[in-house]
Amino acid sequence: MAYEFRFPDVGEGIHEGRVVEWLVAEGGTVGRDQPLLKVETDKAIVDLPSPHAGTVLRLHAAAGETIHVGDVLVTLGLAGEVAQAAPAPASTSAAESPAPAPGPGAPAPAVAPSTATPSRPPATPHTRALARRLGLDLARITGTGRDGRITNEDVASFAKAKAPEPEASAAPLAAAPVPAPSTTPPRPGDAGLEERVPLTHLRQVIAAAMRDSVQTAAHVTHVDEADVTDLLALRRRLNEKLAPTGSRLTLAPFFVKALVAALKLHPKLNASFDAAAHELVLKKYWNIGLAVDTPEGLIVPVIRDADRLSLEQLSARIDDLAGRARERRLSLDELRGGTCTLTNIGPVGGLFATPILHQPELAIVGTHAIKERPGFVGDEVRRRSYLYVSVSFDHRFIDGAEAARFLADLVTRLNDPDRLIASL
């Protein structure tokens, strides 16, 4: 009995992926839970395991091909089936000689009317919808996918293709005069001045997510400033104590602890919106998403139960997640379930930015570059270290005053690290 394994709905709004690598081959056997292939989604590169043991009868997608939820990926034989070979072409032999031609006056054999219908070009429903939107006939497009399957990239390439050049006349042409060297400066579009770089699957999905977020939420950003001079001094003292162990604290664990403390006072910023029920879902757990800059794009792993971790545990967890995010080795469970996101833009530079919400969350906090300048301590002017902190929030559900109070509570804890440590 054959079983069709389809690209499963893995949740978190993931509708499509890209086949990175097949881990099995047609004709081979697989065991239950054995990985079949690697698939890249907008969140990670994951292994898809086989739900059954059996024989691989057919692979339905090629490496590099885009797949959608519900697409058949593998046909498995569960009861000893083997891949069926294509029927051999008919041949004529002495034993199978053609029938003799009818004699003179014999009626010609009747020819039955053809009932065959034109074959339907192989393509996924998503690709067919794309072709319809662009007004293209799939029958005119050559598929580059497995077994001639037409992919989204094939449709896009066909749509962008230039009209064929007119055929040259057979008559000889007179030699054209050589033009004088042009004094016109090169312009955009001239050969050699532009380079076209195809978007990776991850970048396409990030682009769609950013567009959907901006079109859905009412984005507003509020900015405040923290004096982190004492926080930097505390971190130096703690790192001196940790030096013999080889551990070292960055500022990120302190930012996470301060964020959790402020979120506990302002639950709407640790919430999501259930559009179907028209309800806010206030989360009584604190899973902090951490935006990680990777060579392929921004990835947001989740620090689960951040409120229960010590500074050292947070530091180790952040290093582990960030390292595996850059290598695309995170599991889907490590990329979903966040309640609020933190993005630390400071190491890159700049004063402040306006981060975009990571749907379906209602708030994202940004920590920015630390700048040194003179500041008052009582009546004295001293050298101090200042940090801009921002919160972007969905103004449909969170008022500006509430966001400002939240950020003030966050800044208070960054200004006074002793109070922050005492609350851990």
CATH number at residue 12: 2.40.50.100
CA distances in angstroms from 299 to 162, 339, 358, 417, listed in the order given: 37, 15, 11, 29
State both tokens at 125.
């429903």
- Comparing CA positions, the residue from 340, 352, 394 lying closest to residue 225 is 352
Domain annotation covers residue 417: yes
Name residue, tokens 């139960």: 305
Whether 151 and 279 map to the same domain: the answer is no
Q: How far, in Å, CA of 237 to CA of 414, rounded?
A: 16
Whether 245 and 362 map to the same domain: the answer is yes
Check if 60 is active-site: no
Q: Say if CB 37 and CB 24 are below 8 A apart.
A: yes
Whether 152 and 235 map to the same domain: the answer is no
Q: What is the pLDDT of residue 347?
A: 83
Domain annotation covers residue 364: yes
Q: Say if CB 340 and CB 263 are below 8 A apart.
A: yes
Q: What is the pLDDT of residue 115?
A: 42
- Comparing CA positions, the residue from 180, 164, 321 lying closest to residue 252 is 321
Residue 394, domain extent: 205-422
Whether 34 and 136 map to the same domain: the answer is no
Whether 242 and 389 map to the same domain: the answer is yes
Residue at a domain's end among 77, 105, 138: 77
Catalytic residue, chosen from 15, 52, 219, 395, is 395
Whether 25 and 146 map to the same domain: the answer is no
Residue count of the chain: 424
Whether 220 and 368 map to the same domain: the answer is yes
Domain annotation covers residue 46: yes
- Comparing CA positions, the residue from 395, 369, 371 lying closest to residue 384 is 371
CATH number at residue 152: 4.10.320.10
State both tokens at 18.
């890209």
State both tokens at 136.
């293209």
Domain annotation covers residue 263: yes
- The predicted-structure confidence for 40-56, as pLDDT tens digits, reads as follows 876 677 888 999 999 99
Residue at a domain's end among 49, 77, 105: 77
What element of type H or E holds 281?
strand 279-282
Q: How far, in Å, CA of 322 to CA of 349, rounded?
A: 19
- The predicted-structure confidence for 327-380, as pLDDT tens digits, reads as follows 888 887 898 899 999 999 888 878 888 999 999 999 999 999 999 999 998 899
Whether 238 and 319 map to the same domain: the answer is yes
Cis status, amide bond into 360, omega within 30 of 0? yes
State both tokens at 45.
């590169």
Number of domains in the chain: 3
Domain annotation covers residue 93: no
Beta bridge partners of 279: 274
Whether 305 and 399 map to the same domain: the answer is yes
Whether 407 and 328 map to the same domain: the answer is yes
Roughly how many angstroms between the first and final C-alpha of the chain, as a whole number?
58
Domain annotation covers residue 90: no
Domain annotation covers residue 197: no
Q: Which residues of the chain have pLDDT under 50?
A: 83, 85-101, 103-118, 162-170
Q: What is the pLDDT of residue 87?
A: 44
Q: Say if CB 392 and CB 357 are below 8 A apart.
A: yes
Q: How far, in Å, CA of 38 to CA of 125, rounded?
A: 22
- Comparing CA positions, the residue from 14, 20, 25 lying closest to residue 64 is 20
Beta bridge partners of 223: 390
Q: Say if CB 266 and CB 340 are below 8 A apart.
A: no
DSSP of 325-363: HHTT---GGGGS--SEEEEE-TTT--S---PPP-TTBSE
Domain annotation covers residue 264: yes
Cα dihedral sign, 421-345-405-227: positive
CATH number at residue 339: 3.30.559.10
